[in-house]
């Protein structure tokens, strides 16, 4: 006969060994499964009901310890099934364990189905979390499109907000003429021929860096797989070792995205320079400074993808540097760098107070070092 849960928990029959009873139902195991993180065995149906009724993360019913990565995967305890089977075989055929409707032992439910569902749920949750993190990082990467420290950041349309610094136009300094760029180039260079000397360089959005973008797909796949496995391992802290690889992948996406959407405008005069970066006609970065602090514009290689160098055209401003263009052809990089270099050499004024400090050469060097 079927007993109540209270009777089963307080009046355990002496002929049913305790090691064959489920800790939850106090009835003999029919489909015993064990929790991997603790090794404790329970009746499958009772454990699933316990987890579905308990709020929050999955916990072991006996230890109250959270399962690893909130996993609800369980495995059939074949040793316990054999013990139950041997116990029943040693009893008469009329014997029915307490709480059972018959002495027939049901076949175990396939663990593979549960594992597949759990893994699918885990992968889905992991994908959602990873997507959220990548979205935040992508927004941060977009905000840092210039890769520079300093300057003024904003998300309003250029000149739309009150108090927003205005980007001057080269035509305001005199009659501007177009400089001949390499054939097929979209880079535009204009220089004042009569009036106050000024040079304007405009680098429009380029095409997507397909090589870097395609390479980032397997990169993220491998990094994501390793991170997921490390997170579900014995020590989830190992997953932190993947952070540099995520950073490299995000940098590749960042380089591809900014080259496809970012427009850069640089204006040089005899005393000031202006640098503006826009995406979809919205200002992302603005900087105004003393042209005497500019040292050079140079092409710098930051990485190699499939053996091909990935270079940026960089403007050096004192100890800082600002990316002027990404993904340009080498002839375009040289054209822009040469025009900037020629203008700086011709019109850049020496910094105030920049006279060299004279040192008394009669004083020994080691003595001067202590002064």
3-state secondary structure the chain: CCCCHHHHHHCCCCCCCHHHECCCCCCECCCEEECCCCCCEEEHHHHHHHHHHCCCCCECCCCCCECHHHCCCCEECHHHHHHHHHHHHCCCCCCCCCCCCCCCCCCCCCHHHHHHHHHHHHHHHHHHHHHHHHHHHHHHHHHCCCCCCCCECCCCECCCCCCCCCCCCHHHHEEEEECCCCCCCCCEEEEEEEECCEEEEEECCCCCCHHHHHHHHHHHHHHHHHHHHHHCCCCHHHHHHHHHHHHHHHHHHHHHHHHHHEEEEEEEECCEEEEEEEECCEEEEEEEEEHHHEEEEEEEEEEEECCEEEEEEEEEECCEEEEEEECCCHHHHHHHHHHHHHHHHHHCCCCCCCCCCCCCCCCCHHHHHHC
User: Are 246 and 231 spatial neighbours (Cβ–Cβ below 8 Å)?
Assistant: no
pLDDT in tens, 316-333: 998 999 988 877 888 999
pLDDT in tens, 156-174: 444 444 456 889 999 999 9
Tell me the pLDDT of the chain averaged across its residues.
77
pLDDT in tens, 80-115: 999 999 999 988 888 889 889 888 888 887 655 455
Measured in whole angstroms, how far is the alpha carbon of residue 6 from the centre of its chain? 53
pLDDT in tens, 341-370: 999 999 876 555 444 434 344 444 344 344
Percent of the chain scored above 90 by pLDDT?
36
pLDDT higher for 248 or 116?
A: 248
CA distance readout (Å), 360 to 53, 365, 368:
86, 10, 9
The greatest distance separating any two alpha carbons of the chain, rounded to the nearest whole angstrom, comes to: 116
> Using CA atoms, how far apart are residues 61 and 185, in angstroms rounded to an integer?
69
User: Are 327 and 348 spatial neighbours (Cβ–Cβ below 8 Å)?
Assistant: no
Structure tokens at 235: 């020590």
- pLDDT reported for residue 331: 92
- pLDDT reported for residue 93: 86
- pLDDT reported for residue 2: 41
pLDDT in tens, 294-324: 999 998 887 676 677 778 899 999 899 998 8
pLDDT in tens, 175-199: 999 999 999 999 999 999 999 999 9
pLDDT in tens, 30-52: 999 999 888 999 999 999 999 88
pLDDT band at 3, cuts 50/70/90?
Answer: very low
- pLDDT reported for residue 254: 73
pLDDT band at 290, cuts 50/70/90?
Answer: very high
């Amino acid at each position: 006969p079927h007993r109540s849960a209270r009777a089963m928990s307080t009046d355990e029959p002496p002929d049913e060994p305790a090691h064959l009873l489920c800790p939850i139902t106090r009835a003999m195991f029919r489909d015993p499964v064990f929790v991997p993180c603790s090794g404790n065995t329970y009746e499958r149906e009772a454990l699933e009901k316990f987890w579905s009724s308990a709020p929050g993360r999955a916990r072991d019913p006996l230890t109250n310890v959270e399962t690893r990565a909130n996993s609800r995967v369980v495995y059939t305890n074949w040793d316990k099934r054999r013990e139950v089977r041997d116990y029943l075989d040693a009893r008469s055929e009329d014997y029915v364990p307490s709480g059972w409707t018959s002495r027939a032992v049901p076949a175990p439910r396939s663990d593979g189905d549960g594992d597949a569902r759990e893994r699918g749920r885990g992968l889905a949750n992991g994908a959602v979390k990873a997507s959220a993190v990548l979205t935040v990082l992508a927004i941060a990467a977009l905000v840092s499109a210039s890769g520079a420290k300093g300057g003024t950041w904003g998300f309003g349309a250029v000149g739309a907000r009150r108090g927003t610094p205005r980007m001057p136009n080269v035509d305001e300094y005199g009659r501007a003429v177009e400089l001949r760029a390499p054939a097929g180039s979209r880079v535009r260079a204009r220089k004042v021929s009569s009036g106050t000397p000024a040079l304007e360089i405009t680098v429009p959005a380029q095409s997507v860096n397909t090589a870097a973008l395609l390479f980032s797909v397997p990169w993220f796949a491998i990094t994501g797989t390793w991170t997921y496995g490390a997170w579900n391992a014995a020590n989830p802290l190992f997953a932190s070792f993947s952070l540099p690889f995520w950073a490299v992948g995000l940098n590749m996406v960042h380089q591809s995205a900014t080259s496809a959407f970012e427009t850069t405008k640089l204006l040089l005069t005899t005393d000031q320079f202006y640098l503006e970066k826009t995406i979809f006609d919205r200002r992302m970065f603005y900087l105004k400074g003393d042209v005497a602090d500019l040292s050079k514009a140079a092409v710098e290689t930051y990485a190699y993808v499939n053996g091909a160098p990935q270079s940026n055209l960089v403007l050096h401003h004192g100890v800082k540097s600002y990316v002027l263009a990404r993904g340009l052809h080498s002839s375009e990089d040289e054209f822009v760098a040469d025009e900037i270099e020629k203008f700086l050499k011709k019109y850049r004024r020496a910094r105030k107070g920049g006279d060299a400090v004279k040192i008394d050469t009669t004083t020994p060097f080691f003595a001067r070092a202590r002064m």
